[in-house]
Structure 1
Amino acid sequence: MVDMAMFLGALLIVYVVPGPDMILLLETGVLRGRGQALAVAVGLAIARAAHVTLAALGLAALFKTHPWAFDAARTVGGCYLVWLGVRLLRAGPVSYDAVGQAAPRQAGWSGALLSGVLTNVLNPKALLFCSVLLPQFVSPAHGPIGQQFAVLGVILVGLGLAFDVMCALAGGAVGRWMSASPRAQKIQSRIFGVALIGFGLRLTIAQRPA
């Protein structure tokens, strides 16, 4: 395979730049607890694995040959992020139990996992990213193409999951620290809500792939 250090560097840059995935992780950790934030991280990993699979199958080309598919995906994804943001703006403070775990809100673990899957899988830019990045590090001279895609995909998903787990734990720690201040929780909800709405609107007006 070609230049693993460059591949890892590209992934690190993408993962550390704030985006809807990171905002969702931090929001869930701060406002709903570490457990649900970890469920979101698992959901994001599932979605990334799906994107890698679709990229390997060449289905990302659908967005170039059928622009309406990109428009539909970004509109649905953007509306979902806006809905998450509005829900946060309307949410109340969270109570914590004796061990610092947030009391269940919404659909618990299953709902958190689903929100992680949908937030990433409904973002067509995530699929385009995989379809553009992975082929740059695949070469017929280095063995079977499918095997190379599989190895790079495992690295992409694994590194993303590790980063997401750190964000989830950090958000959970901040949430326990803020548990005594409903006012602080409300401010955090508004910040995260506005951020998600902003990302949703930006995705909705995203340019079609060239």
Structure 2
Amino acid sequence: MPGVTDLTLFVAALVAVYLLPGPDMALAMSAAMSGGTRHGLAAAGGLAVSRSIHVTVAGAGLVALLAAHPALFAAVRWVGAGYLLWLAWKVAMSSDQLELRREAGRAPAWDAARRGVLTNLLNPKALMFCALLLPQFVHRDQGGLAAQYLVLGIVLVGIGFAFDLCYVLLAGRLAALLAESPRAARVQRLGFATVFGLAAIRLAIREG
């Protein structure tokens, strides 16, 4: 088991990361604001599934495959950037808030969950984050490495889901306010689109 000091530092690092605006936060909130709490929770669940996959892949050492093959890493990076740009365009071009909620309400929650999985899974930076952060808190003199890695992975996914849940609940409250102001709703859509767009640009232009 990781020590108390290590766990405290690990949690602090995760909180700092999850508080930063990014595509995961924007997706959870936009899903909740367009489709309601059910869609927001589905998106949060999809993000949790993707983070679990990243933790598993990083723990299995498969991240070394991306590190050893720059072309493969670049391909994943460009696919992820393209997907984020598509999300930005879709959000920016959506209709007014009330109609958007009606359209999303008719769509299955699975669509939001799928977007949650893809948004995080197609971001190789999220995988590299797991691969670089987790080993810093694993020590051979504190028990089995697999057990420590499992605990840290559960903490990472759990805290991420808790933050996403908070963002979903916050978005639900904001949606009621924005429904009464078309102008504010347009600003909200452009804000989320900007977050997705900037994340795509950052992903595309950064090397390694």
The TM-score by the shorter chain falls in which range?
Answer: over 0.9
Q: Deviations over 1:129-187 (max 9, x none)?
A: 00011111111211111111111100100011001000011011100221122332122
Q: Higher helix fraction: Structure 1 or Structure 2?
A: 2
C-alpha contact 2:97 2:178 (8 A) present in aligned 1:
no
1:12 aligns with 2:15: yes
Matches within 5 A, 1:21-100: 21-95=24-98
C-alpha contact 2:32 2:172 (8 A) present in aligned 1:
yes
**CA distance in 2 between partners of 1:29 and 1:54 (Å):** 29
Structure 1: runs of 5+ lacking an equivalent: 97-101
CA shift at 1:104, angstroms?
4.0
Matches within 5 A, 1:1-210: 1-2=2-3, 3-95=6-98, 102-105=101-104, 107-208=107-208
C-alpha contact 2:23 2:199 (8 A) present in aligned 1:
yes
**CA distance in 2 between partners of 1:174 and 1:103 (Å):** 17
CA shift at 1:89, angstroms?
1.2
**CA distance in 1 between partners of 2:102 and 2:113 (Å):** 17
Secondary structure of the residue aligned to 1:155 is helix
Please, what TM-score do these two structures have when normalized by structure 1? 0.92
**CA distance in 2 between partners of 1:104 and 1:143 (Å):** 51
Q: Deviations over 1:52-81 (max 9, x none)?
A: 000110011112110011101110001000
Computed over aligned residues only, the root mean square deviation of the Cα atoms, in angstroms, reads: 1.4
**CA distance in 1 between partners of 2:16 and 2:42 (Å):** 24
Identity %: 41
C-alpha contact 1:34 1:173 (8 A) present in aligned 2:
no
C-alpha contact 1:56 1:131 (8 A) present in aligned 2:
yes
**CA distance in 2 between partners of 1:206 and 1:61 (Å):** 19
Higher mean C-alpha displacement, 173-182 vs 79-88: 173-182
**CA distance in 1 between partners of 2:107 and 2:62 (Å):** 32
Please, what TM-score do these two structures have when normalized by structure 2? 0.93
* Amino acid in the other structure paired with 1:48: R
